[in-house]
Structure 1
């Protein structure tokens, strides 16, 4: 994991800080790594760190949990009952903070998912693809939280590039349920340069030329480069194969079609241009990682 610590322009609200503090402290006691993902991670990365309003309200807090097995996951859930959380047997991933009323989804990943990164929920039917979570944790930034007068703790948060990587995987895993992931991908692309990346773009002459024609196309390329820099070989291969299919298929283009509707004013060719640019970023000097 990286050691960089987030500097916040806007502090986390007290109820959420308390929630994260108790979650993190409990996980630390059990030697379990957490990873803040999903909608609230998006808010942290854009609004709290960069001051960029997302215009998307959410009460959801998604926390990925790196565990060896289901026994470790259930021990954590049980321990959280003693720190102000309510747990339920169905669905097993949901807990509720009694103080704030906020719901938290705990998403296991790591060895519990097996070598193929497919998470099999106990007695719950469909599996979930958790490909990319290991890389996201390894490249996370640290969000310091302090509440209730206790010593500050830090919870790992996905980077913006890792957030998009996970959202692409999530969308393809459950496309009908995860349309909001595509909306978030479009938001990230349109604001990526303003989230601390504009100077990086200026250092690449070919991207400067792209940005002159369409800043979002250039941003998608830079985003692809950043995903490439952290992705394992398996994750990289999965992403490139899926995205390339979006640009070549005449009818089976779920990501491009949804991106066009949600972020490109209905322009399918514009959505495909963003995807193609991201592919080119993903394939630029690909560095294989374990």
Structure 2
């Protein structure tokens, strides 16, 4: 999916287009790979791109940006602030010139060996960034404006579900409801992508289609698991497989 172009030009508002354009310009100038993640990625790909019903409105936009150290991250945020973005009290959050919350999570060489980051200055806010590398490496190019051309890099559903499963693992049990709903949405809407449905009838998947009694939704959910597994790195896969022997095993029993 990384080599294709999904054109959704004209489907998102001008303020959001302007926000994406600013972030793209800065990341390009600094040569920093990035990927749009979170609910915005879900809506761009599945709702605007493939016609799935929108799950719920989202007011913020999430980016994961690959940096080598905190100095590089500070250079990024300072560059955005020179374009009118404003800092907030939340360490990863900026406000766009139109006051849209923008969350920016760094990953890459900035991570510790456990794929976590500790926010400065005290390092008391620790966040797992496991799975962000895969989501970035396998992002889909999405065109949000035709003239001038503005293309952005957005997490695919396989990348999204990796991040959601990691979030499920990291979160306290009583905080998992949102993750469960998001996982269910991804599993139930992957069939909106016509290439995925076509894959369900391939020779390699027809046995699975038969095993699900020709249920397209369930077969496409299985294929989503296959696609997620194919992009997951060793550490990410090891973490997610833990779910297969405990709570949530039905989601990853074939991972």
TM over 0.5: yes
Aligned-pair distance for 1:10? 5.9
Q: Secondary structure at the match of 1:111?
A: coil
CA shift in 2, pair 1:59/1:217, >3 Å: same
Matching residue of 1:135: 134
Q: Aligned partners of 2:5, 2:69: CA distance in 1, in Å?
A: 29
Q: Secondary structure at the match of 1:64?
A: strand
2:163 is the alignment partner of 1:162: no
Contact 2:142 2:152 in 1 (8 A): yes
| Structure 1 gap segments, 5+ residues each | 247-252, 257-271, 283-290
Q: Aligned partners of 2:214, 2:150: CA distance in 1, in Å?
A: 44
Deviations 1:106-126 (A, max 9, x none): 111111113321111122524
Q: Secondary structure at the match of 1:6?
A: strand
**TM-score where L is the length of structure 1:** 0.79
Aligned ranges 1:143-158 → 2 under 5 Å:
143-146=142-145, 151-158=148-155
Matching residue of 1:95: 94
Deviations 1:36-89 (A, max 9, x none): 00010000011111011123111121111110011111111111112121113x
2:48 is the alignment partner of 1:48: yes
Q: Aligned partners of 1:187, 1:145: CA distance in 2, in Å?
A: 23
Q: Aligned partners of 2:32, 2:237: CA distance in 1, in Å?
A: 26
Q: Aligned partners of 1:220, 1:172: CA distance in 2, in Å?
A: 20
Matching residue of 2:193: 195
Structure 1, 121-130 or 25-34: larger mean CA deviation: 121-130
Aligned-pair distance for 1:7? 2.4
Q: Aligned partners of 2:5, 2:27: CA distance in 1, in Å?
A: 19
Matching residue of 2:65: 65
Q: Secondary structure at the match of 1:223?
A: helix
Q: Aligned partners of 1:87, 1:178: CA distance in 2, in Å?
A: 29
Aligned-pair distance for 1:139? 0.8
Q: Aligned partners of 1:152, 1:182: CA distance in 2, in Å?
A: 36
**TM-score where L is the length of structure 2:** 0.90
**Runs of 4+ off more than 4 Å:** 213-216
| Structure 2 gap segments, 5+ residues each | none
Q: Secondary structure at the match of 2:253?
A: helix
How large is the RMSD of aligned CA atoms in angstroms? Answer: 2.1
Q: Aligned partners of 2:113, 2:230: CA distance in 1, in Å?
A: 21
Aligned-pair distance for 1:214? 4.9
**More contact order relative to length (CA 8 Å, sep ≥ 6):** 2
